[in-house]
């Protein structure tokens, strides 16, 4: 692949939003000159939904809220299209702020956005693992390889002459790609990005034999609980045909359990999970690990236009995603919006 205008690495909400901003903004870029590549076999990132038998469970982001005018305009379009729905206005206590769910599960929002981009002519490719980023004479050079469902590497290729690059994976992973390509950032950029650390979260996914005894709207948000900070019945949420509960483990507990194998994690968490859903019984259980769920401390800006040290910079290099401007889904959206604008302004 050669002579590409803008390459966006990562098809989470930030990457998909950046692509949308580029092709649909007032300074719209030719969609044929925009591409999005994603290492996973499906788009979405933390917009993640899993099916276990008949059960459907959101296991990454569980819902989202709206605070900014920019995000409100977008969400109003999603509501009108029937993609998202209001779930509730608080957990245990009504505070008036809508919490939104996605019809069919959170990943359906990412699929909707990716389908819209593909329909406009943007190439959205999954199962493509970037291995290195380096500046070239005529643009950025990106090494990548195909990946199958078992993570095995396939055909390798190099994308050349990329005019602008938007990098949305978690910052530690993004920096690894630059290091693999021998690409050095200026000291001010390096010091800013090196300081970004992320929380880890272990999700426990449980299919039940009957509805759990959880208060309306079928979920608990407990930010100070030492074991589970969020618990939600996906059937009560409206996305699963059978009772199925997602447990998000507290950051500190997740960090402690991270080195353990899945069986040890289940042994440690299962007694509390059983107690919370009683009298329902857990009939099937799976573990999902999120190494990078959100920044310990966000970069204050919604994106960062980075500069390369030692060689001529072939075009804009923009960092965006969960580490910038806030850890919530709205922050990821605003980061993608800012990244798209930064590319066209460069």
Quick one: which of 323, 288, 291, 285 has its CA closest to 304?
Answer: 323
C-alpha distance from residue 340 to each of 15, 78, 179, 200, 206 (Å): 9, 20, 24, 28, 39
Q: Tens of pLDDT along 164-181?
A: 999 999 999 999 999 999
pLDDT of residue 153: 66
Q: Tell me whether strands 317-319 and 55-58 are parallel, antiparallel or unpaired.
A: unpaired
SS (H, E, C) 69-138: HHHHHHHHHHHHCCCEEEEECCCCCCCCCCEEEECCCCHHHHHHHHHHHHHHCCEEEECEEEEEEEECCC
The predicted model gives 57-62 an average pLDDT of 97
CATH class (in words) of the domain with range 198-295: alpha beta
Percent with pLDDT over 70 in the chain: 97
Q: Which tokens belong to 49?
A: 């939904």
Q: Tens of pLDDT along 286-338?
A: 999 999 998 898 888 999 999 999 999 999 999 999 899 777 899 999 999 99
- Contact residues for 271 (Cβ-Cβ < 8 A; gap 6+): none
Q: Decide if 204 contacts 247 (C-beta within 8 A).
A: yes
Radius of gyration of the chain (CA): 20
**Nearest-angstrom CA–CA distance, 333 and 322:** 9
pTM of the full predicted structure?
Answer: 0.95
SS (H, E, C) 131-160: EEEEECCCCEEEEEEEECCCCCEEEEEEEE
What are residue 331's phi and psi, to 5 degrees? -65, -40
User: pLDDT band at residue 2, thresholds of 50, 70 and 90?
Assistant: very low
Quick one: which of 34, 69, 120, 115 has its CA closest to 344?
Answer: 34
Q: Decide if 37 contacts 8 (C-beta within 8 A).
A: yes
Question: Both ends of the chain: CA-CA distance in Å?
Answer: 23
Count other C-beta atoms under 10 Å from residue 238's C-beta.
Answer: 15
User: What superfamily would CATH give domain 6-49+103-196+297-345?
Assistant: FAD/NAD(P)-binding domain (3.50.50.60)
**Nearest-angstrom CA–CA distance, 105 and 176:** 31
Kindly list the domain boundaries of the chain, sorted by start residue: 6-49+103-196+297-345, 198-295
pLDDT of residue 151: 60
Q: Which tokens belong to 65?
A: 């809220």
């Amino acid at each position: 692949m050669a002579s590409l205008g803008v390459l966006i690495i990562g098809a989470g909400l930030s990457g998909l939003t950046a692509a949308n901003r580029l092709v649909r903004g007032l300074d719209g870029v030719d969609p044929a000159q925009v591409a999005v590549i994603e290492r996973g076999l499906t788009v979405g990132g933390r917009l993640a939904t899993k099916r276990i038998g008949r059960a459907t469970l959101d296991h990454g982001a569980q819902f989202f809220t709206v605070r900014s005018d920019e995000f409100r305009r977008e969400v109003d379009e999603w509501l009108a299209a029937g993609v998202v729905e209001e779930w509730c206005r608080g957990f245990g206590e009504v505070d008036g702020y809508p919490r939104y769910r996605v019809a069919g599960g959170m990943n359906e929002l990412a699929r909707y956005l990716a389908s819209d981009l593909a329909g406009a002519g943007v190439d959205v490719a999954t199962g493509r693992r970037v291995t290195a980023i380096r500046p070239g004479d005529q643009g950025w050079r990106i090494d990548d390889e195909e990946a199958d469902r078992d993570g095995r590497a396939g055909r390798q290729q190099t994308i050349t002459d990329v005019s602008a690059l938007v990098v949305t994976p978690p910052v530690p992973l993004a920096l690894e790609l630059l290091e693999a390509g021998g690409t050095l950032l200026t000291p001010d950029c390096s010091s800013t990005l090196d300081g970004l650390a992320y929380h880890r979260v272990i999700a426990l996914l449980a299919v039940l034999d009957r509805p759990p005894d959880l208060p309306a709207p079928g979920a608990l948000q407990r930010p100070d609980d030492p074991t589970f900070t969020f618990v939600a019945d996906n059937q009560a949420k409206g996305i699963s045909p059978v009772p199925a509960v997602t447990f998000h483990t507290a950051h500190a507990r997740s960090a402690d359990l991270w080195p353990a194998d899945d069986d040890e994690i289940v042994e440690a968490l299962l007694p509390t999970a059983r107690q919370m859903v009683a009298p329902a019984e857990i009939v099937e259980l799976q573990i999902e690990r999120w190494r990078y769920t959100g920044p310990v401390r966000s970069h204050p800006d919604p994106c960062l236009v980075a500069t390369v040290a030692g060689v001529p910079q072939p075009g804009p290099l923009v960092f965006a995603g969960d580490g910038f401007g806030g850890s919530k889904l709205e922050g990821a959206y605003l980061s993608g919006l800012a990244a798209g604008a930064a590319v066209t302004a460069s």
